[in-house]
Amino acid sequence: MTSTLKGITIKGSAELVAEFFSFGINSILYQRGIYPPETFTRVTNYGMSLQLTTDTKLKTYLTDVVAQLKDWLFECTVQKLVLVITCLETNEVLERWQFDIECDKSAKETSAPREKSIKAIQDEIRSVIRQITATVTFLPLLETPCAFDLLVYTDKDLAVPDKWEESGPQIIAQSEEVRLRSFTTSIHKVNSMVAYKKTDSA
């Protein structure tokens, strides 16, 4: 952490948010059973126990995405991060975990740290992850084998990196949306929400 105990800089904020995404995506993948639970290990962060994948392919993929995301967060060019869960049999999008990112672009020019302690931010992050864990109770069961993808909504004027390409928004045709908690580092504000396909019975 580059930030001091009292304030937070844009770099520190980007790192905190990227770390949150790493843990958040891992817990969604664990909770939704996209990968088998035995491929996860327990770690403790934010004062709570979290699940981290041990699948090497998945690990490298996530580190790639999060590293790139950190750069973009630092440049304040990212608007959204979306985790899409797709059914492999029908290629239908079943769930969309959307994290809206509001960047305070003025923080880019002024290097002065903001007044917000890391502990307060981590408390907010913890409550968001708790809520993600709790959403399993109302989300419909994923009955078919599924895979996930991470979409990043960026500014239009951004140069596309080598490994990346443009994609569609992967919108669910008939969806129910649930807003989750949000947290802010006072530079980046992350609003989280989940949209899922309406089941026929509902």
Partner 1 sequence: MDLEDDTTVFTTLKSFNSFISRPEHPKRLSEPPAGSGNLQTQYKRSMELLDAAERVQSKNRYLQLDQEKKQMEMSHKRARFELERAASDSARDLEHEVDRNQELLGRIKKLEDREMEAAKNLSEKVEANRALRKNQEGLHKKLEERDLKLNTANQTISCLKDEIRDLKQKIQNQDSTISTQTLENQELQEQLDLQRRKYQEVSQLCQSLQSAQSSCSEHIIKIKELERRLAIQEQDISIVKIVKSEVARVPDLEKELKRLRDDNAFLRESRENCSLLKEEVEGLRRKLERMEKTKEEMVNIELEKERLAEKLQAWENLGQSTGLNIRKPEDLSREVIQIQQREIALKEQNYTLNSCVRSVERSQSELRAELTQQRNKTLEEQKKREMQDSLVRRLQKRVLLLTKERDGMRAILESYDSELAPNEYAPQLNRRLREAEDILLKTQNHNAEMEAQLTKAQEETGTLKLRLQTVELELESVKKQQQQASIAGSNSSVTKEEVSILRQKIEDLEAERQRLEEQNNILEMRLERHNLQGDYDPVKTRVLHIKVNPITVAKQQRQQEEEALREEVTRLRELVRSLQDGGALVHSQDDASLHSSSLSLSLPPSKEVLDLRKQMESAELRNQRLKEVFQKKIQEFRTVCYVLTGYQIDITTQNQYRLSSVYAEHMDDSLIFKKGSNGSMQLMETEFSKTLGQMVELHLHHQKSIPAFLSAVTLDLFSRQTTQEGRS
| C-beta separation of 53 from 35 below 8 A | yes
Indicate the length of the chain as a whole number. 202
100 binds partner 1 (CB under 8 A): yes
96 binds partner 1 (CB under 8 A): yes
92 binds partner 1 (CB under 8 A): no
Beta bridge mates, 85:
95, 148
Taking the complex as a whole, how short is the minimal distance between the CB of residue 118 and partner 1, in angstroms?
Answer: 29
103 C-beta neighbours (distance < 10 Å), count: 23
Binders of partner 1 among 154-173, rule CB under 8 A?
154-156, 158, 160, 163-172
> Which residue in 3, 22, 53, 86 binds partner 1 (CB under 8 A)?
86
Taking the complex as a whole, how short is the minimal distance between the CB of residue 96 and partner 1, in angstroms?
Answer: 6
DSSP string, 27-83: HHHHHTTSS-GGGEEEEEETTEEEEEE--HHHHHHHHHHHHHHHHHHHHT-EEEEEE
Q: Which is nearer to partner 1, 115 or 166 (CB)?
A: 166
Binders of partner 1 among 14-73, rule CB under 8 A?
33, 36-37, 57-58, 61, 64-65
